[in-house]
Chains A and B, each alone.
Chain A
Amino acid sequence: MSDRRGVLADPDTGDDPGRALVGLITEDQAPLLARPFFADGDPGPIVAALAQVPELLEATAPFLGAVLGPSAVPTRTKEIVVLRTSARASCRYCIEAHTVVARDAGLSVREVRALRGELDACTVFADCGDQAVIGWCDALVSVGPVRPEAKAALLVCFADNEVVELTLLAATTLLLNRFCTALDLPTSAGVLARLAAEGLA
């Protein structure tokens, strides 16, 4: 275990709300295995943090891409999972980032507000599939056994492969929620501007 030894990239105290707990690797300092992730510009703070350990970035990024990226489950449904889970886990970074992604995926401002817990989700979401997914996320965020009624509701609307994917997506979101929250990852200026413009800041 490193004792920091006085020489590491830009260690921060975590006291500044605008700065991350660890140094976020910039393109000019990107380790060799991490360089492909910087080839198209700023890869965002999750990758920039993971680049501190390039062998972990190399393994983690494809996994995250597979779980969070386009798949058999519609993007809109996946964003319901990510935003709802993040809101339940109180991850400021993921809520802000995925509010924008959710809007781009076709969710309305009211739906986004409901997923964030600002409106009643049962009132806003009429579709039983959406409601089942939201209930599934709420159940997964809780510690201990998953509620039987949440399981039953999900199985009514989704096939086994979709249940697996939705569950892995929620679990991976929780992983990212804790990672981003613990490391105080900063929200980009572009996302903050978009949130402000849409009255969702």
Chain B
Amino acid sequence: MSALADAIAAGALGERVWLYSNYHCNLACAYCLTDSAPSSPRRELAAEAMVTVAHQAAELGFKALGVTGGEPFLRPDMAETLAAMAAVLPTVVLTNATLFSGDRLERLRPLADLDVAVQVSLDRAEATANDELRAPGNHARVVDAIPRLVEAGIRVRIGTTLDPDAEISDTEQANLCALHRSLGVSDEDHVVRPVVRRGRAAACDMGVVAAVSDLPPELTITVDGAFWSPFGPTVREGRLDTDLLVTRTTEPLSCPASALARLVEDRPPGGDARLGIR
């Protein structure tokens, strides 16, 4: 096994490679890391490039893939691209789940037979609180979409992003868990993370400060280069952050992967990243 595969197997390097498929989004959430909005430049990774990353990731010893954006499903080729990637490695795709109706839902159905999880953003049990930071009507759309995905046989995860300054009672947290269970999503498929003070969240004075030592190293590929983690390629007021950039070169994947492994080796000894943001 190569040194890189050893590092992945040992957990020193995250086993998942993330890809930013695009940066535009039909929403403009207050805490968005990438300052995404309908008017954002698309900055798409080509579908062929994403599949190439999948194959090279597998060869290097990575165990899983993740796709995020922007809203990946604004791309008409996303379902087919996910299918091609999932044929190589288990794949999770992050989405706001506001586009899953009609033809788009039909095109997702083949994913039911593949190792693909669709991770849907749902922050709060109550619609008003949820929609305040996301978009009017977002809660209703998500609650409507999840059962249809589940019914189609697609594995659904729920990603909850919480403003650390928001006062959320134990009752409300319990209500959120009751809600996702009622929608057919188990506790193991519910992930909770804090708003990170980068991108639009920083511009809005929200979230926890996350230095490189706080973030698990997970190779992240974008059209602008390779980054330390999916929290790296953030955009604030139209400007790309480069503080967590690893290399501009993304292909072959061994270039940024090796560089990331070297950076991980140079880290001071210690346990997991402090904030454990995933």
**B-binding residues in A (CB < 8 A):** 2, 5-10, 25, 28-33, 51-56
Query: A55 with B248: in contact, given A5-B43, A6-B41, A7-B41 (CB under 8 Å)?
Result: yes
Chain A positions within 8 Å of B246 at CB level? 31-33, 54
B interface, over-half SS: loop
In the complex, are the beta carbons of B243 and A31 less than 8 A apart? yes
Q: Is B241 an interface residue (CB 8 A)?
A: yes
**A-binding residues in B (CB < 8 A):** 23, 40-43, 212, 223-224, 228, 235, 238-249, 255, 259, 263
| Interchain nearest-CB distance for B93 vs A (Å) | 22
In the complex, are the beta carbons of A54 and B240 less than 8 A apart? no
In the complex, are the beta carbons of B240 and A32 less than 8 A apart? no
Chain A positions within 8 Å of B23 at CB level? 7
| Interchain nearest-CB distance for B36 vs A (Å) | 11
Chain A to chain B contacts (Cβ below 8 Å), 29 pairs: A2-B224, A5-B224, A6-B41, A6-B238, A7-B224, A7-B235, A7-B238, A7-B239, A7-B240, A8-B224, A9-B239, A9-B240, A25-B242, A29-B241, A29-B243, A31-B243, A31-B244, A31-B245, A31-B246, A32-B228, A32-B243, A32-B246, A33-B247, A33-B263, A51-B242, A52-B242, A54-B246, A54-B247, A55-B248
Chain B positions within 8 Å of A32 at CB level? 212, 228, 243-246, 263
Query: A30 with B235: in contact, given A5-B43, A53-B248 (CB under 8 Å)?
Result: no
**Cα–Cα, bound, A31→B241 (Å):** 9
10 cross-chain pairs, A with B, having the tightest CB-CB distances, nearest first: A6-B41, A31-B245, A5-B43, A55-B247, A5-B41, A53-B248, A29-B242, A7-B240, A31-B242, A29-B243
Starting from the known contacts A7-B239, A28-B243, 20 additional A-B residue pairs (CB-CB under 8 Å) come to A2-B223, A5-B42, A7-B23, A7-B238, A7-B240, A8-B224, A9-B240, A10-B239, A30-B242, A31-B243, A31-B245, A32-B243, A32-B246, A32-B263, A33-B259, A33-B263, A52-B248, A54-B245, A55-B247, A55-B249
